Each structure stands twice: as structure tokens, then as C-alpha cells.
Amino acid sequence: MASFSVQNVSKAYGPKKLFENVDVAFSAGRRYGLTGPNGAGKTTFMKILAGDEEQDTGDILRPRKLGILRQDHFKYEDLRVLDVVIMGNKPLWAALDEKQKLLEKPELSEADGHRLGDLEGVIAEEDGYSAESDAGALLMGLGIEEKFHEGKLKELTGGYKLRVLLAQALFGKPEGLLLDEPTNHLDIDSIRWLENFLHEYEGVLITISHDRHFLNSICTHIADIDYETIITYPGGYDDMVRNKAQVRSRVESENAEKQKKIAQLHEFVARFSAGTRASQVQSRKNQLEKLKMEDLKRSNIARPFIKFEQKAPSGRQTLEIEGISKSYDGQLVIPPFRALVTKGEKIAVIGKNGVGKSTLVKMLAGVEQPDAGAFKWGHNAAVGYMPQDHHGIIKKGTTVYGYLRELADIKMGNEEVSGLLGRMLFSGEERMKPTDTLSGGETVRTLLCQLMMRKDNVLILDEPTNHLDLESIAALAEGLSRYEGTVIIVTHDQQLISEVATRIWAPRIGKELIDFAGGFDDFLVKHQDVAAARR
């Protein structure tokens, strides 16, 4: 099987260096997670590997047959879903297309007949006779029902279109796989299926993901972009974090010892250079020349500090739900649901896309009204809500600092607002960044600032990890774990669920919502039918 070889590769945008003189190999049979904070150059490096972008210097050797996740579904809108997947195998698709054109001719020449024979050989070699069934299996694994396979791509919603493109990348047994955020728009069931698929994959995989559980589950190595280079570590993401910290700690400790020794040698030379101990002084000077500090470039890794506090706690019975239900277009989305939520519970709302997770939390946040039933917040409950769709929440025409400073119902001094922004990685001039130009990650960090300022005792969060990098997601999980208030969170991030949740709500289409008192791992053990579906 072929590998990737990266030799002396550099890339910069103006004065900003992303990486310089990178030499790294990605070997067949291994699965690499490409990590680094937002802005480190992960997607740029992935585009260079794919041949979609030119490096400034150096060479790339690639496997012959690549599967690449490209989020450009608009070019396939009018094509059959199965055909979009099969197009992932370029030699096969070219042979099928040419065969079809030849067969459409009113008469075939002798040369056409020979060509058809050649094409049949290519189709057989590329498993073309099972292509449709193989493509269908990939689509089913990614949660796209069979009834959509014969339809056109434009008939699917945006998230499902991207699943089709993921199936396209996986199709045809590529020697190399380049997957940029493959778990985006996947529910937990589909993520588990993808994890199992990649465990069986025999080629070389390079993936970018903000899902720690996914990286820990599938990766044999982590290729980390930092210090303007790429360093490869064995193991998953958590292994890399530990190894990286240990290496840096060791170098810092060795440098501290060298610094102490250098100071002692300088003192000796200064005291005795004019005396009779010339040979000893020269010996110390020779030692000084040999003692060199190991270069410690500044790391670009930065983790925000997220701490949710309460102005005052809620009553013990925080929320009482009495048979709320919701339907859309005659379809029952949330069957009648009853529950009692007590102070300090951390509830993860999980399940497939389209089962009503966001609908449920929107009702509890007061954004939508239930068709039937009611719910009542308990004594002194103060609810902070972050929706999945952030469009229009943050006022335009101001700065991040100005937006937070002007919030009418929150009183914080200038230094407090600046300090909070600094902890959330808006340092220096970034605090005055126009709100019109915020990236997705910056928008989420700004909304988290707002929640921290409000100091509510209940947090309702709908997919808060969208757009956050791995360090920010880890900080969010830590902040929620330490929070003494009540949390209701919709997320597909399995690591966050495992670390935070004390209770699971699992909506299911056409069935009663599962309300499980316990953590995520216990939930999967208890509900074997759900666990089996996830595997």
C-alpha cells in the first residue's frame, strides 16, 4: 500500500508562517489525526496533501488512488445519490461513463467493440458490478435511508448531502483517505459506524476532527501542527497531549538546570579570571561554550478558561415537565414526555438527527411552545440558553468588547469584561474585533462569555461544540463538570457526554423518549438495543 511523503514543505500567508521545512511520512496501515488550534494551518496542509493548494517549497508524494472529503455538494445537485458516491472511484466512474456513451451509439465499430472489452476489464477490476450495492451499504451506514438512494442529491438536506460526500470519499477502496471534519453533521450512531469502518480500513488515513472521542478511538498516531512544524506522536489525541506536555516539561527542566550551571560558571570566571587559577578559568570557559540552551519555540496551543458561576442557586426541584409533546406537519416529533429535574443534574440529550433534540430544548428555553402538556421552572431558576443557530444573536456594527459591555441586563466593569475576554482567548487588539467579522469559533466563544457573565443557575446548550477547536471543547467540558448549576445539553461529542453527563435523554422517532439516570457508558450497557445500533 502507498504512503504520503512530505519533504521540505513550507507554507506562509504574507508574514504569517504556518509551517516551515516540514519533513514527515504518513505510512500505510496507520491512521493519523491532524491536530492544532484554529488558524494553525490544518485545513491548508490537508489541501496541500490533496493537491488542491500549492506549497511554497518542497515536494509531496501521494498514493495513486485517493479518497478526499470535499464539501462541494453543489456540483452534484442534479445527480443520482448512488452515482455521486460511485464517482468517488474515478477509474470506475470514467469506465462506466465511457461504456454508457458507447452503448448509446446506433452502431458499434470493431474498435468500439475492442474498447468495450477493455472497459469491462476495468469495471471488473474496480468491483464495478457490485458498485451500487457497495455504495448503498455506505449510505445506509451513514444514516441515509434506501428510499433516498435513487433520488437526486438536491432532494436531501444540507447535512445529509455532506454525508453523501463522505460516502464518496470512502468508496472504492482508496489507498489514501483525507477526511476534513468527517464527523460534522453525523449523529452518534453514524459516528460509531464510521469509527468501525475506519478501524477496518487498510490504507493510510489522515483526518482533521474536533471530536476527541473519535480521534482517541481511531488514531494510531497524531500529527500535531505546532512550533511551525509537524510533530508525530504515537497513540490518540489524549496520548499526544500527555507526551507533548512531558517533552516540553523535560526540556524546560533541563534548560533550568543548564541556566543554573551557566550562572555558576560565569561567577567562577568573573571571580578568578584575574588571579592565579588561569587553567581552571579556561576549563570553565570551555564548559560554557558546550552548554547550550535547547531551543523552545513558543507553542501556538492555547486553551480558554471557562468557569460558569451562579448568582444564586435554584430550588432543589429545578424543572417539572408534565406531558409536553410536539408535532410538525402531522408527524409526532416529541411524544408526551414527563420528567422531574433536580438541582445540579447534567443532562445530555442524544440521538439521531431529526428525532427532536433541538425541538425539545427549544420548548424548555421558551423559544417554541409545546402542542400539549406544560412545564414549570422551580423556585429561583434562572435559565441561560445558547441555540444551535447563532445567526442574528450577536449585534452587528460593534466590537466583541462593545457587545459584551453594552448588555443591558449585565453589569460588569471594563476590567472585568477585558479579563473575561482574555481568558476566552480574545487578547489585546482581538477584543476590539468587529462583530461583523467573527468566525464561527469566535462567535461561540463570545456567546460563552455572555453566559459566564449572566451567572444563571440553569444552562441549556444546543450543540455548543460546533466551530470550537479541541482545546476549547476540553475547556468547555471541564467548565460544565465543575459548574454547580443544572445543565441540559444537546451534543454528539461522545467525550464531552462521558465527562459531563449524569443523566441521558434519548428521543426516538415514534417511540417514548428514554430517560436514563446515569452516565453515557452505563446508558449504552443498559440499553443494549441502542448500543447495538451504535456499533
DSSP string, 372-401: EEEEEE-TT--EEEE-S--TTTSPSSSBHH
Computed over every residue of the chain, the mean pLDDT equals 89
Residue among 430, 413, 470 at smallest CA distance from 214: 470
What band does 281 get if pLDDT is binned at 50, 70 and 90? confident
The pLDDT of residue 297 is 55
The number of C-alpha atoms within 13 Å of 91 and in the hemisphere containing its C-beta is 18
The pLDDT of residue 188 is 86
**Other residues' Cβ atoms within 10 Å of the Cβ of residue 224:** 24
Give the DSSP letter string of 45-61.
Answer: HHHHHHTSS--SEEEEE
Q: Over 60: is that where the pLDDT of 535 sits? A: no
**Mean pLDDT of the region 158-177:** 93
The pLDDT of residue 392 is 85
What band does 204 get if pLDDT is binned at 50, 70 and 90? very high
- The cell numbers describing 360, all together, are 425539545
What band does 295 get if pLDDT is binned at 50, 70 and 90? low
The position carrying cell 484554529 is: 38
The pLDDT of residue 37 is 77
Q: Which one is predicted more confidently, 169 or 439?
A: 169
Q: Which of 78-82, 177-181, 277-281 has the lowest mean pLDDT?
A: 277-281
Q: Which one is predicted more confidently, 178 or 408?
A: 178
Backbone angles phi, psi at 342, to 5 degrees: -105, 160
Reported CATH class of domain 317-395+443-534? alpha beta
End-to-end CA gap in the chain: 28
Whether the CB-CB separation of 339 and 360 falls below 8 Å is answered with no
Q: Which of 167-181, 328-342, 407-421 has the lowest mean pLDDT?
A: 407-421
The pLDDT of residue 73 is 76
What band does 531 get if pLDDT is binned at 50, 70 and 90? very low
Q: What torsion do the CA atoms of 200, 206, 211, 214 make, to the nearest 10 degrees?
A: 20
What band does 534 get if pLDDT is binned at 50, 70 and 90? very low
Q: Over 60: is that where the pLDDT of 213 sits? A: yes
Q: CA 335 to CA 337: how far, in whole Å?
A: 6
What distances in angstroms separate CA 402 from CA 324, 407, 454, one per listed residue? 39, 9, 16
Whether the CB-CB separation of 239 and 233 falls below 8 Å is answered with yes
The tens digit of pLDDT for each residue in 258-274 reads 777 777 777 877 777 77
**Mean pLDDT of the region 178-198:** 91
Backbone angles phi, psi at 386, to 5 degrees: -120, 110
Q: Where are the domains of the chain?
A: 4-239, 249-290, 317-395+443-534
What band does 390 get if pLDDT is binned at 50, 70 and 90? confident
Query: CB-based contacts of 208: which residues, under 8 Å, 6+ apart?
Result: 33, 34, 35, 42, 43, 46, 179, 180, 181
Q: Over 80: is that where the pLDDT of 232 sits? A: yes
Whether the CB-CB separation of 506 and 514 falls below 8 Å is answered with yes
Q: What torsion do the CA atoms of 261, 265, 267, 271 make, to the nearest 10 degrees?
A: 160
Buried b (16+ CB within 10 A) or exposed e, 433-453: bebeebeebbbbbbbbbbbbb
The tens digit of pLDDT for each residue in 96-148 reads 999 999 999 998 889 988 999 999 999 999 999 999 999 999 999 999 999 99
What distances in angstroms separate CA 346 from CA 81, 341, 416, 512, one per listed residue? 40, 9, 28, 21
Strand runs (DSSP E) across 237-371, as ranges?
317-328, 331-342, 346-349
In this prediction the pTM is 0.77
Q: Over 90: is that where the pLDDT of 468 sits? A: no
Q: Do the two domains 4-239 and 317-395+443-534 of this chain adopt the same fold?
A: yes
- The cell numbers describing 226, all together, are 505546532
Q: Which one is predicted more confidently, 157 or 289?
A: 157
Q: Which helix (H) or strand (E) holds 6?
A: strand 4-13
* Residue 143 three-state SS: coil
**Mean pLDDT of the region 31-49:** 89
Q: Which of 261-275, 399-413, 433-447 has the lowest mean pLDDT?
A: 261-275
**Mean pLDDT of the region 47-68:** 94
Buried b (16+ CB within 10 A) or exposed e, 126-155: bebeebbebbbebbebbbbeeebbeeebee
| Angle ∠(399,402,406) on CA atoms, nearest 5 | 145
Q: DSSP code of 178?
A: E
Q: CA 370 to CA 446: how far, in whole Å?
A: 30
Superfamily, domain 4-239 = P-loop containing nucleotide triphosphate hydrolases (3.40.50.300)
What band does 298 get if pLDDT is binned at 50, 70 and 90? low
The pLDDT of residue 499 is 95
Whether the CB-CB separation of 399 and 374 falls below 8 Å is answered with no
Edge-to-edge order in the sheet of strand 511-517: 383-386, 458-462, 486-490, 346-349, 503-508, 511-517
